[in-house]
Structure formats: structure tokens, C-alpha cells
Structure 1
Amino acid sequence: MGDKPKLYYNSACPVCRTGIEQQRARMDGLLPEGSDTIAWCDIAATPEAAVEIDKSVDQIRHSLHMVDERGRLAGRRDVAIAVWAMTPGRRWLGWLVGLPGIRQLARWGYNRFADRLFAWNKRQGRW
């Protein structure tokens, strides 16, 4: 896939866009290579990119997806854990949320939030 992770997100969702912008700014301020540590793919700007990971545009609108440097696909809450693990000052959060028990609870919470956020954006006519 490449030499750095590629994260697929949806900027048409204002909540998602704000979260990604904040994460990128945090990485830009803390890492020598900044947010360029990750290849960021906005599915709202390039919907055809969904085929790169064999997902529909709606699946990416629903939740984050990332391909790591080895070409392995991760989705949903696992993407947040991976991004936190790459971010100074947030690595502890990736470790904590990745612990057994907490990981399952985080998965449940992420999925409920993503379901509601996707439905809200649809009602708002964003897609």
C-alpha cells in the first residue's frame, strides 16, 4: 500500500471534519514530520478512493478506515487507537483503549456513536 498509513475519512460530516482537523493540528505541532506521518484521504473529495479498500462510500462515511504500512485494513475504533499510538501525548490513550475489556466497551461506544452520527448527517442532507 505504501510506506505510511492511509486514513480514509469523511469531511462532509462536520463532526468528523473537526476531529480530523484537530488530530492533524496536534500531529503537526508534536511530530517532526507532522501530520504527513499519515496519508489522509477525504472520501467527500475523492469518493472513487473507496475502491482502494473494497468499501462503499457509505461505509467510509459511517466510520474511519485505515490501511497500515503493511497493507492491513483496520476500521472504526481500531483506527483511533492506531492514530493515538502515533501521536505524542496520546500514546497512553491508545494503550488504555486497547486493553481487553476497555477495547470491547470502546468498540460498542464507537459503533453506537457512528450509527447515530451517520443517521444525523443523512437527515441533514449531507449525503
Structure 2
Amino acid sequence: MKPTLYFDGSCGLCRREIEHLRPRLKPRAQLVDISASDFEPPAGYTLAAMMERIHFHDGDGMRIGLSASLGYWRLAGGGFRWLALLLSLPGLFQIADWAYNRWAAWRIRNRHCDPVR
């Protein structure tokens, strides 16, 4: 099964990141815009939960939040692989994960990047 990246195309920041990475990711992963009107979440997930944090199914399991970003950055390769390696280091991962989770909560709480539907 090809890895699948579930991203919020209604979020300008999310969309810009994925468009930047698209040439590197498209040959290696399926890119799914969860803000599309015909999107159906995979079994066991809800749209609301998937909107809260980015999801990446790497073929073995679903990664969520910063772990998802690290997974698809590794897949994208180049400088992103190094960034993923750096942010995977003990201590740095916990700080970056905390920061990601605060940003994700802020985004939802302030209704930034609401789904298009």
C-alpha cells in the first residue's frame, strides 16, 4: 500500500507546504485533501479529528501531528530528511511536538483553516 498523506487543503499554510513538497511526495505517496467535499475519513477516524492535526499513513500505521510531519518529510527527502532527523532527537522532539500541538489547538480554536464544506 502506498503511503497516504491526509492534509487540510483549506488551510493556507498547510496547502503551501504540501504544494511545495508535492513534486517530491507525489511519486511516493497519495496526497488526500481532507477539505474536499467528497472526502470520507478512513475507518476509525473522524473528519473533526483529522482536521485537528495532520495524519500520515506510512504503510504500517497512522502517524498523527508532528510524527506525521516527520514521516512525510523523510519520504520527501533532501533537506527535509535532515530536518526530520534533527527534530527526532530526544528533547527536541518533545519541544517541537509541544509547539505543534499548541499551534494545532490555536488553529482550531480560532477557526483558522475551517473545512470548505
- Please say which of residues 16-25 and 101-110 is displaced more in the overlay: 16-25
> Which amino acid letter does the alignment assign opposite residue 47 of structure 1?
F
Find runs of 4+ consecutive structure 1 residues off by over 4 angstroms. 122-127
Does the 8 A contact of 2:66 with 2:96 survive in 1? yes
* Cα distance between partner residues in 2 of 1:40 and 1:114: 20
Does residue 73 of the first structure (1) align with residue 71 of the second (2)?
A: no
> Which is richer in helix?
1
Alignment RMSD: 2.1
Using the size of structure 1 for normalisation, the TM-score is 0.79
Using the size of structure 2 for normalisation, the TM-score is 0.85
Shift of 1:115: 0.9
Number of aligned residues: 115
Deviations 1:67-105 (A, max 9, x none): 1123x1110000111112122222111111011111111
Are the structure 2 counterparts of residues 56 and 119 from structure 1 closer, same or farther at C-alpha, using a change threshold of 3 Å? Answer: same
Q: 1:47 aligns with which of 35, 39, 43?
A: 39
> Structure 2 regions of 5+ residues with no counterpart?
none
Does the 8 A contact of 2:6 with 2:56 survive in 1? yes
